[in-house]
Structure 1
């Protein structure tokens, strides 16, 4: 499947739909107090860049965001692809685009927090295949056994 990737505003109905689908998928997997989801309003903040994947019909089929945390660190947030396109490397393409944007912003390290439970294995695979390695606690996230942390150092 051919998809196009573009930087877009999260304040669109179809992106809100992606966020709702992502939340519906993730909420049952981890205790609520250990979930750190950004809302579309938070994603509209100037420090966040959202990449949306669209199919040939123009439908949003995936997304991912990068938040500039300062001091050369970017955080990958809200990675999601619709089930219909899983296995077609849409997530890999989104992650590669986010990394390219991070390099353009002169970021030197990408980090991310994800869940630590059954159901997250596809996420682990995409991060690890894209060069991310597990690391200790990042940013201000608690390390409570319900999350997993990754990083990727970006060499100029």
Structure 2
């Protein structure tokens, strides 16, 4: 059975998965368009980090970063570092992690959740996953700017 729990992004197996994630991001996108966070940035107090595991084996991870609300807006979050281990792809791990993150966002009474992903074909499965869960394209949010290599998405909760 797959379980999703809070975890440390500095844990050895998680660190390796995040390093693989960053390497793939830099291999598929120009450096100025890579917005993935490393394990130390994911340890910030404003970020909640979870892993999906089965019998102790790491299957994937994801994070929710709390954003400073815009004036007059309620709480907002950003999904970060969604990654499924290559050996676990096709098993629904990303869906389980995404649902867990969205449930957490709802329990915090956030009004919306945002994310940034790439425009390249490599990111098409991620864009489809988010669209299946109700995310729609939006303008850049927080400190992001328009970028031909980025797709910005939001979900109103």
State the TM-score, normalizing by the size of structure 2: 0.93
State the 1:28 CA deviation.
1.1
**1:67 match:** 65
How large is the Cα RMSD of the aligned pairs?
A: 1.0
State the 1:24 CA deviation.
2.1
Q: Which runs of 5+ in 2 are unaligned?
A: 70-74
State the TM-score, normalizing by the size of structure 1: 0.93
Q: Given that residues 19 and 38 in structure 2 are in contact (C-alpha distance below 8 angstroms), is that contact kept between their aligned partners in structure 1?
A: no
- Segments of 4+ moved more than 4 angstroms: none
Q: Which whole-Å deviations, capped at 9, do the CAs of 1:103-137 have from their partners, x for residues lacking one?
A: 11111100000111121111011101111111111
**1:4 match:** 3
Trace 1:109-128 onto structure 2 (pairs within 5 A): 109-128=112-131
Q: Given that residues 132 and 150 in structure 1 are in contact (C-alpha distance below 8 angstroms), is that contact kept between their aligned partners in structure 2?
A: yes
Q: Which runs of 5+ in 1 are unaligned?
A: none
State the 1:144 CA deviation.
1.8
SS of corresponding position for 2:121? coil
Distance in structure 1 (CA, Å) of the matches to 2:138 and 2:145:
13
